[in-house]
Protein backbone atom coordinates (compact mmCIF):
# COMPACT_ATOMS: atom_id res chain seq x y z
CA UNK A 1 0.00 0.00 0.00
CA UNK A 2 1.44 3.45 -0.95
CA UNK A 3 2.55 5.62 1.94
CA UNK A 4 0.18 8.28 0.59
CA UNK A 5 -2.74 6.12 1.65
CA UNK A 6 -1.49 5.85 5.23
CA UNK A 7 -1.11 9.64 5.38
CA UNK A 8 -4.67 10.10 4.12
CA UNK A 9 -6.05 7.60 6.63
CA UNK A 10 -4.30 9.48 9.44
CA UNK A 11 -5.67 12.74 8.04
CA UNK A 12 -9.20 11.34 8.12
CA UNK A 13 -8.83 10.06 11.67
CA UNK A 14 -7.41 13.40 12.81
CA UNK A 15 -10.18 15.24 11.03
CA UNK A 16 -12.79 13.12 12.78
CA UNK A 17 -11.26 13.84 16.18
CA UNK A 18 -10.92 17.57 15.59
CA UNK A 19 -14.45 17.91 14.21
CA UNK A 20 -15.83 16.41 17.41
CA UNK A 21 -13.48 18.32 19.70
CA UNK A 22 -14.38 21.67 18.12
CA UNK A 23 -18.05 20.71 18.06
CA UNK A 24 -18.46 20.79 14.30
CA UNK A 25 -19.82 17.24 14.13
CA UNK A 26 -21.47 14.83 16.54
CA UNK A 27 -19.59 11.58 17.16
CA UNK A 28 -21.84 9.55 14.79
CA UNK A 29 -21.50 12.33 12.21
CA UNK A 30 -17.71 12.26 12.50
CA UNK A 31 -17.67 8.51 11.90
CA UNK A 32 -20.04 8.93 8.95
CA UNK A 33 -17.85 11.73 7.64
CA UNK A 34 -14.75 9.56 7.95
CA UNK A 35 -16.36 6.78 5.92
CA UNK A 36 -17.60 9.33 3.38
CA UNK A 37 -14.11 10.77 3.06
CA UNK A 38 -12.60 7.31 2.66
CA UNK A 39 -14.95 6.37 -0.17
CA UNK A 40 -14.36 9.69 -1.93
CA UNK A 41 -10.60 9.27 -1.61
CA UNK A 42 -10.68 5.69 -2.88
CA UNK A 43 -12.66 6.77 -5.93
CA UNK A 44 -11.55 10.35 -6.43
CA UNK A 45 -8.05 10.36 -5.03
CA UNK A 46 -6.53 13.40 -3.36
CA UNK A 47 -8.55 15.74 -5.57
CA UNK A 48 -11.83 14.19 -4.47
CA UNK A 49 -10.77 14.39 -0.84
CA UNK A 50 -9.64 18.01 -1.34
CA UNK A 51 -13.07 18.96 -2.71
CA UNK A 52 -14.79 17.35 0.27
CA UNK A 53 -12.41 19.05 2.70
CA UNK A 54 -12.99 22.43 1.07
CA UNK A 55 -16.75 21.97 1.35
CA UNK A 56 -16.45 21.03 5.02
CA UNK A 57 -14.22 24.01 5.86
CA UNK A 58 -16.32 26.54 3.94
CA UNK A 59 -19.54 25.13 5.36
CA UNK A 60 -18.25 25.15 8.94
CA UNK A 61 -17.00 28.73 8.69
CA UNK A 62 -20.19 29.95 7.01
CA UNK A 63 -22.42 28.21 9.56
CA UNK A 64 -20.62 29.81 12.49
CA UNK A 65 -20.31 33.23 10.83
CA UNK A 66 -22.31 35.88 12.76
CA UNK A 67 -24.28 33.11 14.43
CA UNK A 68 -25.79 35.47 17.00
CA UNK A 69 -27.49 37.58 14.35
CA UNK A 70 -28.78 34.38 12.74
CA UNK A 71 -30.14 33.21 16.08
CA UNK A 72 -32.04 36.45 16.51
CA UNK A 73 -34.03 35.82 13.34
CA UNK A 74 -34.29 32.05 13.86
CA UNK A 75 -32.04 31.21 10.91
CA UNK A 76 -29.18 29.58 12.82
CA UNK A 77 -28.51 25.85 12.71
CA UNK A 78 -29.48 23.89 15.81
CA UNK A 79 -26.85 23.05 18.40
CA UNK A 80 -24.67 25.93 17.19
CA UNK A 81 -24.19 24.32 13.80
CA UNK A 82 -22.96 20.92 15.00
CA UNK A 83 -23.81 18.59 12.13
CA UNK A 84 -25.48 15.20 12.51
CA UNK A 85 -24.81 12.01 10.57
CA UNK A 86 -28.00 12.63 8.59
CA UNK A 87 -26.71 16.02 7.49
CA UNK A 88 -23.36 14.52 6.52
CA UNK A 89 -25.07 11.94 4.33
CA UNK A 90 -27.42 14.53 2.87
CA UNK A 91 -24.51 16.65 1.66
CA UNK A 92 -21.83 14.05 1.00
CA UNK A 93 -23.77 10.84 0.36
CA UNK A 94 -23.97 11.20 -3.42
CA UNK A 95 -20.25 11.99 -3.66
CA UNK A 96 -19.49 8.97 -1.45
CA UNK A 97 -21.62 6.68 -3.61
CA UNK A 98 -19.85 7.94 -6.72
CA UNK A 99 -16.51 7.39 -5.01
CA UNK A 100 -17.45 3.83 -4.17
CA UNK A 101 -18.66 3.13 -7.70
CA UNK A 102 -15.46 4.59 -9.16
CA UNK A 103 -13.40 2.46 -6.79
CA UNK A 104 -15.14 -0.66 -8.12
CA UNK A 105 -15.41 0.54 -11.74
CA UNK A 106 -12.30 2.64 -12.46
CA UNK A 107 -12.95 2.56 -16.21
CA UNK A 108 -15.71 5.16 -15.71
CA UNK A 109 -13.65 7.37 -13.40
CA UNK A 110 -13.71 10.51 -15.56
CA UNK A 111 -17.51 10.62 -15.61
CA UNK A 112 -17.86 9.93 -11.90
CA UNK A 113 -15.21 12.47 -10.93
CA UNK A 114 -17.13 15.21 -12.73
CA UNK A 115 -20.42 14.11 -11.18
CA UNK A 116 -18.74 14.04 -7.76
CA UNK A 117 -17.58 17.61 -8.26
CA UNK A 118 -21.07 18.65 -9.36
CA UNK A 119 -22.65 17.18 -6.24
CA UNK A 120 -20.16 18.87 -3.92
CA UNK A 121 -20.48 22.15 -5.84
CA UNK A 122 -24.24 22.04 -5.28
CA UNK A 123 -23.78 21.29 -1.58
CA UNK A 124 -21.29 24.14 -1.23
CA UNK A 125 -23.45 26.61 -3.15
CA UNK A 126 -26.50 25.80 -1.04
CA UNK A 127 -24.66 26.03 2.27
CA UNK A 128 -22.91 29.32 1.50
CA UNK A 129 -25.94 30.99 -0.04
CA UNK A 130 -28.12 29.98 2.91
CA UNK A 131 -25.68 30.81 5.69
CA UNK A 132 -24.07 33.95 4.25
CA UNK A 133 -27.01 35.19 2.19
CA UNK A 134 -28.97 35.50 5.41
CA UNK A 135 -26.23 37.78 6.77
CA UNK A 136 -25.31 39.86 3.71
CA UNK A 137 -28.51 39.80 1.68
CA UNK A 138 -30.40 43.09 1.34
CA UNK A 139 -33.65 42.08 -0.31
CA UNK A 140 -35.22 38.65 0.09
CA UNK A 141 -37.67 37.02 -2.29
CA UNK A 142 -39.69 33.83 -2.46
CA UNK A 143 -38.16 31.86 -5.34
CA UNK A 144 -41.60 30.72 -6.57
CA UNK A 145 -43.57 33.99 -6.45
CA UNK A 146 -40.62 36.44 -6.50
CA UNK A 147 -42.49 38.44 -3.91
CA UNK A 148 -40.62 39.85 -0.92
CA UNK A 149 -40.46 37.33 1.89
CA UNK A 150 -38.86 36.90 5.31
CA UNK A 151 -35.18 36.07 5.29
CA UNK A 152 -34.23 32.73 6.75
CA UNK A 153 -37.39 30.97 5.60
CA UNK A 154 -37.21 27.93 3.33
CA UNK A 155 -37.21 28.90 -0.33
CA UNK A 156 -36.28 32.54 0.28
CA UNK A 157 -33.34 33.82 -1.74
CA UNK A 158 -31.32 37.00 -2.17
CA UNK A 159 -29.09 38.20 -4.99
CA UNK A 160 -26.12 38.39 -2.64
CA UNK A 161 -26.66 34.87 -1.33
CA UNK A 162 -27.05 33.44 -4.82
CA UNK A 163 -23.81 35.08 -5.97
CA UNK A 164 -21.95 33.86 -2.88
CA UNK A 165 -23.22 30.35 -3.53
CA UNK A 166 -22.03 30.50 -7.13
CA UNK A 167 -18.58 31.58 -5.94
CA UNK A 168 -18.57 28.54 -3.65
CA UNK A 169 -19.36 26.27 -6.60
CA UNK A 170 -16.54 27.92 -8.54
CA UNK A 171 -14.09 27.16 -5.73
CA UNK A 172 -14.99 23.47 -5.96
CA UNK A 173 -14.53 23.70 -9.73
CA UNK A 174 -11.07 25.21 -9.23
CA UNK A 175 -9.97 22.33 -7.00
CA UNK A 176 -11.35 19.83 -9.51
CA UNK A 177 -9.51 21.56 -12.36
CA UNK A 178 -6.22 21.69 -10.49
CA UNK A 179 -6.42 17.94 -9.91
CA UNK A 180 -8.04 16.69 -13.12
CA UNK A 181 -7.19 19.40 -15.64
CA UNK A 182 -8.61 22.69 -16.85
CA UNK A 183 -11.29 22.79 -19.51
CA UNK A 184 -15.01 23.14 -20.13
CA UNK A 185 -15.72 20.93 -17.13
CA UNK A 186 -14.93 23.92 -14.92
CA UNK A 187 -18.04 25.68 -16.19
CA UNK A 188 -20.15 22.53 -16.06
CA UNK A 189 -19.39 22.26 -12.34
CA UNK A 190 -20.24 25.91 -11.68
CA UNK A 191 -23.52 25.54 -13.58
CA UNK A 192 -24.33 22.32 -11.74
CA UNK A 193 -23.75 24.02 -8.40
CA UNK A 194 -25.98 26.95 -9.33
CA UNK A 195 -28.76 24.73 -10.70
CA UNK A 196 -28.67 22.48 -7.65
CA UNK A 197 -28.85 25.52 -5.40
CA UNK A 198 -31.90 26.87 -7.24
CA UNK A 199 -33.55 23.45 -7.16
CA UNK A 200 -32.91 23.31 -3.40
CA UNK A 201 -34.69 26.64 -2.94
CA UNK A 202 -37.65 25.53 -5.06
CA UNK A 203 -38.06 22.41 -2.94
CA UNK A 204 -37.73 24.54 0.19
CA UNK A 205 -40.46 26.93 -0.91
CA UNK A 206 -42.85 24.12 -1.82
CA UNK A 207 -42.51 20.65 -0.33
CA UNK A 208 -40.37 21.56 2.68
CA UNK A 209 -42.61 24.45 3.75
CA UNK A 210 -45.55 22.07 3.68
CA UNK A 211 -43.57 19.62 5.84
CA UNK A 212 -43.80 16.96 3.13
CA UNK A 213 -40.02 16.48 3.17
CA UNK A 214 -37.27 17.49 5.58
CA UNK A 215 -34.16 19.57 5.05
CA UNK A 216 -31.90 16.51 4.77
CA UNK A 217 -33.98 15.16 1.90
CA UNK A 218 -33.85 18.57 0.21
CA UNK A 219 -30.07 18.70 0.53
CA UNK A 220 -29.67 15.14 -0.73
CA UNK A 221 -31.77 15.90 -3.81
CA UNK A 222 -29.80 19.10 -4.32
CA UNK A 223 -26.52 17.17 -4.53
CA UNK A 224 -28.15 14.55 -6.75
CA UNK A 225 -29.26 17.26 -9.16
CA UNK A 226 -25.74 18.71 -9.16
CA UNK A 227 -24.33 15.33 -10.15
CA UNK A 228 -27.00 14.70 -12.81
CA UNK A 229 -26.54 18.16 -14.37
CA UNK A 230 -22.82 17.50 -14.79
CA UNK A 231 -23.56 14.14 -16.38
CA UNK A 232 -26.03 15.68 -18.84
CA UNK A 233 -23.75 18.58 -19.75
CA UNK A 234 -20.85 16.30 -20.62
CA UNK A 235 -22.92 14.15 -23.01
> In whole angstroms, what separates CA 76 from the centre of its chain?
17
Residues 181-211 pLDDT 10s: 999 999 999 999 999 999 999 999 999 999 9
Residue 208 DSSP class: I
Domain with 226, as residue range(s), is: 3-77+84-233
Note the pLDDT of residue 235.
Answer: 87
Phi-psi region of 146 (alpha: psi -120 to 50; beta: other; left: phi over 0): left
On whether the pTM is more than 0.85, the answer is yes
Number of structural domains the chain divides into: 1
116, 114, 121: which is closest to 97 by C-alpha?
A: 116
Tens digits of residue pLDDT in 106-157: 999 999 999 999 999 999 999 999 999 988 999 999 999 999 999 888 999 9
Q: Measuring CA to CA, which residue among 179, 165, 72, 69 is closest to residue 125?
A: 165
With a cut of 70, say whether residue 76 has pLDDT above it: no
Contact 72, 103 (CB under 8 A): no
Handedness of CA 96, 233, 190, 157 (dihedral sign): negative
Q: Give the list of residues 6+ apart from residue 71 with CB closer than 8 angstroms, or none.
A: none
1/179: higher pLDDT: 179
Amino acid sequence: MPIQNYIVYLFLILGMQLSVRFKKLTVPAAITGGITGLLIFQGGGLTGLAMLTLFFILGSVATGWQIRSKQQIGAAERDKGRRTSGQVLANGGIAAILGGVTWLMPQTAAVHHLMMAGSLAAATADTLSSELGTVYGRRFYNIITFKKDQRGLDGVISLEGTLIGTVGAALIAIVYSIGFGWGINFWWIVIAGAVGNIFDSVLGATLERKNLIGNNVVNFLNTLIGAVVCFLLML
